[in-house]
A and B are shown apart, each in its own frame.
With several copies, the nearest count.
Chain A
Amino acid sequence: MYTEKVMEHFANPRNVGEIEEASGVGEVGNASCGDIMRISIQVEDNIIKDIKFKTFGCGAAIATSSVCTELVKGKSIDEALELTNQAVADALGGLPPAKMHCSNLAAEALHEAIADYKAKQGKE
């Protein structure tokens, strides 16, 4: 069902947790299956210095969260905004067709976290 890469990330998820006093936090629920993900980021000089996630969801949801944090950590905000759910799935060696929607969670949560960061910036 899942690729080895998916299972590897599922078994050893990277960057689990929450950043206290994060620069931005994004939380999204997956309308289709009821799963939830929260991503928090710490941004310095427009670079994502640190990123952490928490996910309530299936194996694919957890693996996509994990790989997503790995993909953008150390990248600029603009680079991070270009991340698509397809890129997340590809980084895992693909997902079963029925599980493609799960990869939306990660990309959306990340984009929300960035939006939150930008909103906060704007206020300062």
Chain B
Amino acid sequence: MQPVYMDHGATTPVHPEVVKAMVETMEKSFGNPSSVHAFGREARKLLDEARASVASLMGASPEQIIFTSGGTEADNMAIFGAARGMRLKGKGNHIITSAVEHHAVLDACKALEKEGFEVTILPVDEDGQVHVEELEKALRDDTVLVTIMHANNEVGTIQPIQELARLAKARGAVFHTDAVQSFGKIPVDVNELGVDLLSASAHKIYGPKGVGCLYIAKGVKLTPLSYGGSQERRRRPGTENLPGIVGFGKAALISQAEMQAEAERLTRYRDRLIDGLMELPHVKLNGHRTNRLPQNVNLSFHFIEGESLLLMLDMKGIAASSGSACTSGSLDPSHVLLAMGLSHEIAHGSLRLTLGRGNSEEDVDYILNTIPEIVERLRALSPLYEGKEAVTSCTQRR
């Protein structure tokens, strides 16, 4: 049994070319980019090149890119940095975010509440979409920061960032977007989007884990998250993760070349999966049907619990994920699915398949063949499932 990896939203395999670039860097250019000598200068050159590659994939200039240890650090740096910085300037202490953000954003905002900030959390509709009018209502004169993700990691819904950013900036707020899931998958252009701050992460685009970046528009001031050496224009101290950064640069170059064709291919697979699995009874699609990431499929199978589903799939060699509480360490099911109006029960039975470079048409066939029997088996186990006939409502039982 050849395993089928369909959890590219969690992390991606590292591209062989990326591994090669990283190995070369470690073997030949191990110097510290801050050093004066030849080893240092060689390292500095690679650092500059990688910065240019990453910048190019988002239409930024190299000096606007600050490398971080990942998407989480980029989000925290943006949110703490902008909020604290704006407050120091006396601009206010109100922050706006959405109910479907990644925990790196939501929990950073919550921590700011303890520092005296006020946080408004915008609701989403049943497709997981933030409405521009909601932001309009929430904006205040003392709003210093609006942070809304580009594409959702669980359900793939894409937000209208361009309009949201325009609105926020017109009211004097800094606009940040978490583009960890969209960067390298769909076009992301900082100027078109009109954002001040944008987070990305290498390991979601076939680069290495432990590297990310924050785009910082000209003129945007951030209070640093940590202190030390003068690396990254004094915005982010610590010896640069050079092999990781080189890997990120390489991954960005490859994405740039392949993105369009890959998005089309994965959209086809995605739609086959959605259409095929929706033929089963009592299945609900989560997220917007079309305005979603090419690689994202998210379905709720009623009467089934997510972790059991994952384990069964795993036994068949299929790697997927779920918004189930049982898989997340927390006991509440996905805050994203709940915010979209799903009941706890339905949210518990969600399955996320995220496609990627290694997936083939055969993988899609295999999944379409495998899931029905697993769903049937688990439903047979479920006290909630009284036979297909008996079921009435499956969305509001609680």
Task: Please list the residues of chain A having a beta carbon within 8 angstroms of any beta carbon in chain B.
Answer: 1, 7, 10-11, 13, 16, 27, 32-38, 54-62, 98, 102
A124 to B348, CA, bound (A): 41
Docked-complex contact B326 and A35, CB < 8 angstroms: yes
Given contacts A1-B36, A58-B305, A59-B307, contact A34 B381 (CB under 8 A): no
> Within 8 Å CB of B315, what residues of A?
11
Given contacts A33-B326, A58-B308, A59-B311, contact A16 B36 (CB under 8 A): no
B228 interface hit (Cβ, 8 Å): no
0 or 1 for each of B57-98: is its CB under 8 Å from A? (1 = yes): 000000000000000000000000000000000000000000
> Within 8 Å CB of A7, what residues of B?
311
Docked-complex contact A38 and B308, CB < 8 angstroms: no
A36 to B329, CA, bound (A): 18
> Within 8 Å CB of A27, what residues of B?
383
- Give the total of B residues in contact with A, Cβ under 8 Å: 26
Docked-complex contact A55 and B381, CB < 8 angstroms: yes
Docked-complex contact A38 and B383, CB < 8 angstroms: yes
> Within 8 Å CB of B334, what residues of A?
none
B244 interface hit (Cβ, 8 Å): no
Q: Least Cβ distance of B300 to chain A in Å? A: 13
A11 to B344, CA, bound (A): 25
Residue among B304, B307, B327, B333 facing the most chain A CB atoms (10 A cut-off): B307
> Within 8 Å CB of A102, what residues of B?
326
B382 interface hit (Cβ, 8 Å): yes
Q: Interface of chain A, helix or strand or loop or mixed?
A: mixed
Docked-complex contact A62 and B381, CB < 8 angstroms: yes
Per the 8 Å Cβ criterion, residues 312-327 of B in contact with A are: 315, 324-327
Quick one: closest A residue to B333, CB to CB? A34
> Within 8 Å CB of A59, what residues of B?
307-308, 311, 326
> Within 8 Å CB of A61, what residues of B?
305, 308, 326
Task: Please list the residues of chain B having a beta carbon within 8 angstroms of any beta carbon in chain A.
Answer: 36, 41, 44, 303-305, 307-308, 311, 315, 324-327, 329, 331, 333, 344-345, 348, 380-384, 398
Q: Least Cβ distance of A36 to chain B in Å? A: 6
> Within 8 Å CB of A57, what residues of B?
305, 308, 326
A11 to B381, CA, bound (A): 12
CB<8 Å pairs between A and B, sample of 22: A7-B311, A10-B308, A10-B311, A11-B315, A13-B381, A16-B381, A32-B331, A33-B325, A34-B398, A35-B305, A35-B326, A38-B383, A54-B382, A54-B383, A55-B383, A56-B304, A56-B345, A59-B311, A59-B326, A61-B305, A61-B308, A102-B326
Q: Least Cβ distance of A20 to chain B in Å? A: 13
Q: Which of A16, A33, A62 contacts B308 (CB 8 A)?
A: A62
Residue among A11, A32, A56 facing the most chain B CB atoms (10 A cut-off): A56
- 6 shortest interchain CB distances as A-B pairs: A58-B326, A54-B383, A58-B307, A38-B383, A34-B344, A59-B311
Docked-complex contact A36 and B311, CB < 8 angstroms: no
Residue among A10, A33, A61, A98 facing the most chain B CB atoms (10 A cut-off): A33
A52 to B99, CA, bound (A): 41
> Within 8 Å CB of B308, what residues of A?
10, 57-59, 61-62
Q: Least Cβ distance of A112 to chain B in Å? A: 13
> Within 8 Å CB of B325, what residues of A?
33-34
> Within 8 Å CB of B398, what residues of A?
34
Docked-complex contact B381 and A58, CB < 8 angstroms: no
Q: Least Cβ distance of B115 to chain A in Å? A: 30
Quick one: closest A residue to B349, CB to CB? A56
Q: Taking A16-B380, A61-B305 as given, write out 10 further A-B residue pairs in contact, using a Cβ cutoff of 8 Å, ordered by the A residue number.
A: A10-B311, A33-B325, A34-B345, A35-B326, A36-B383, A56-B381, A56-B383, A58-B308, A60-B326, A61-B308
Given contacts A11-B315, A57-B326, contact A37 B307 (CB under 8 A): no
Quick one: closest B residue to A29, CB to CB? B398
Docked-complex contact B331 and A56, CB < 8 angstroms: no
A47 to B311, CA, bound (A): 35
> Within 8 Å CB of B331, what residues of A?
32-33
A9 to B77, CA, bound (A): 43
A52 to B301, CA, bound (A): 24
Docked-complex contact A36 and B384, CB < 8 angstroms: yes
A98 to B325, CA, bound (A): 11
Docked-complex contact B348 and A34, CB < 8 angstroms: yes
Q: Least Cβ distance of A104 to chain B in Å? A: 13
Q: Least Cβ distance of A96 to chain B in Å? A: 10
Quick one: closest A residue to B306, CB to CB? A58
> Within 8 Å CB of A11, what residues of B?
315
> Within 8 Å CB of B36, what residues of A?
1
A1 to B345, CA, bound (A): 24
